[in-house]
Structure 1
Amino acid sequence: MPARRFPAFPALTALLAVAALAGCAPQAGGSPSPASPSAPASATALSGAAAATATATATATATAVPSSAAPSPVAAQPKPAAPSPSLVTPKAPAPAPATRLALSVSAPGGQLSLVRGGPAQEFGITLRNGNTRAYGHLLLAFQMEILLGRAGDVPASGDEFLLERRDPATGAWRTVPLRIANDVLPAAVLQGGTPLARDAVRTERFRLRALATGATGSTPLMVTLVDTDSDSRVGSLSLPHTTTRR
């Protein structure tokens, strides 16, 4: 037997749908059911508030934590303390260069210009010791070569010159030997002398007079410094000299 077909009732179907929706509506004064259409709205509001809070927290956290790209501050390194002056070991001074005994002479005009029978002329001899050694006995020895003489000279009847040394203690002038010869006097025959310490300086004053009789001419006054303890010559110089007649 063929199946029966029921006629469609569109109006009835629409009416049933309206009734179903009306049954789900909330009751007056009652709490909305879990299936109420208002629940999704509340959930949406809460979700928005939570999102805003999370965003604010993330922003605050990002602001409080410095970026890892920013350079970290470097602590200043303390400078090493300078050593105390009392703890610094002083350097030993460099040794002074070695110096030796020196001899020099000074005279007006740099020479002796004498006249027979005239006044004496003074000159000074300076002994300047070095830092090498001290001397116990130093002696100044004087010598002149024989003058050849000129026509009209009066032959000497005795000594032709008088050499004197000024005593620094009394100021008196005392006679000093003057050798007239053309040879060299050996240092071993000399004796006496005075000490001279290291770096000591001493100037001795002398004067030379040409006596009334004797030859005239020019010859240097030779001065030799002798260490009589070792019989050795330790210095020498010469002073130009000329003697004329009146």
Structure 2
Amino acid sequence: MPASRGPRRGLSAAAVAAVLLAGITGCGDEAAEAPAAASVSASTAQSPSPSASASAPVTASAPASPSASAPPTTRAVTPTPPPAPTRLTVAVDTRGGRLALVRGGAPQEFTVTLRNGNSAEYRHVLVAFQMEMLVGEPGGAAGSGPGFLLERFDPGAGTWRPADFRIANDAKPPSLFTGGGPLAREAVRVERYRLRATAGGPTGSSPVMVSFIDTDAGREVAAHVVLGHTTR
């Protein structure tokens, strides 16, 4: 009986040794696999998630708000230059370009046109007439006679009224004239006149000088016009 127990004890020892060897080998495999698993976990924790990496470029490239954008460019506006200054111009228009009268005959009509510029506005502009004395004219005569009658048409009343017609050889200073009508900037004024040679008056040829006077300033505002005239 004792002989049979010995071999069974030897088998048990070999089995135990095999088990221990297998355990040691298994422990080595687990130890080798542990760092790999740790490295995978670490790399997974450090790398950004797909959603985070995708949203980052969108946030960086978002357009700026209008208030933060650059100010809009302003177009350069070229100022309009003021109009060139213009002055008062005048014209005297009569049939045939001159006054041809007959003593005791019908009067001859003519017009005087004043075209104001853009430089000044006038309260009183007077149209004044003067003629040198003809042969046989009484010395020192002035006004509308003797010998001639100048009339101006009054559009308000629709009738002709006597107008001053100075007959003298000397010039009257502009500062001594009075009267006249207003003339705004760029306004046009047309006045109608007619001149008659009375019966028994002088005959001959003498020009009529038409002057334009600012009676407030006592000066001429335009060059005078010389109108040819003959009475027979």
Q: Same fold (TM over 0.5)?
A: yes
Say whether residues 1:240 and 2:228 are aligned partners: yes
CA-to-aligned-CA distance 1:181-222 (integer Å, 9 cap, x gap): 000011122111111001111110000000001110001111
Q: Provide the C-alpha distance between the structure 2 equivalents of 1:102 and 1:224, rounded to a whole number of angstroms.
A: 12
The 2-side partners of 1:122 and 1:89 are apart by 57
Note the 1:126-205 alignment, pairs <5 A: 126-149=113-136, 159-205=146-192
Q: Hey, what does 1:42 align to over in structure 2?
A: none
Moved over 3 A (4+): 87-90
Bigger proportion of residues as helix: 2
Q: CA deviation at 1:149?
A: 4.6
Letter in 1 for 2:120: R
* Cα distance between partner residues in 2 of 1:92 and 1:204: 39
Shift of 1:226: 0.8
Name the SS of the counterpart of 2:175 in structure 1: helix
* Mapped contact 1:210–1:243 kept (Cα < 8 A): yes
TM-score by length of 2: 0.62
Q: Which amino acid aligns with 2:87?
A: R
For the residue of structure 1 that corresponds to 2:91, the secondary structure is strand
186-195 or 126-135: bigger deviation: 186-195
Residue 166 of structure 1: CA displacement?
0.3
Secondary structure, in 3 states, of the residue corresponding to 1:240? strand
CA distance in 2, matches of 1:207, 1:89: 58
Gaps of at least 5 residues in structure 1 are 1-86, 151-157
CA displacement, residues 113-134 of structure 1 (integer Å, 9 cap, x when unaligned): 0000000000000001110010
Consecutive unaligned residues in structure 2, runs of 5 or more? 1-73, 138-144
**Which position in structure 2 is the counterpart of 1:92?**
79
The residue aligned with 2:99 is 112
- Following TM superposition, by how much is the alpha carbon of 1:94 offset from its aligned partner in structure 2, in angstroms? 2.3
Alignment partner of 1:140: what SS? strand
Query: Which residues in structure 2 correspond to 1:11-50 (within 5 Å)?
Result: none
Amino acid at match of 1:224: S
C-alpha distance after superposition, 1:38-90 (max 9, x if no partner): xxxxxxxxxxxxxxxxxxxxxxxxxxxxxxxxxxxxxxxxxxxxxxxxx7554
Report the equivalent of 2:4: none
- Distance in 2, matches of 1:231 and 1:219, equals 26
Q: TM-score with structure 1 length normalisation?
A: 0.59
Q: Is the 8 A contact 1:130 1:198 kept in 2?
A: yes
State the superposition RMSD in angstroms: 1.6
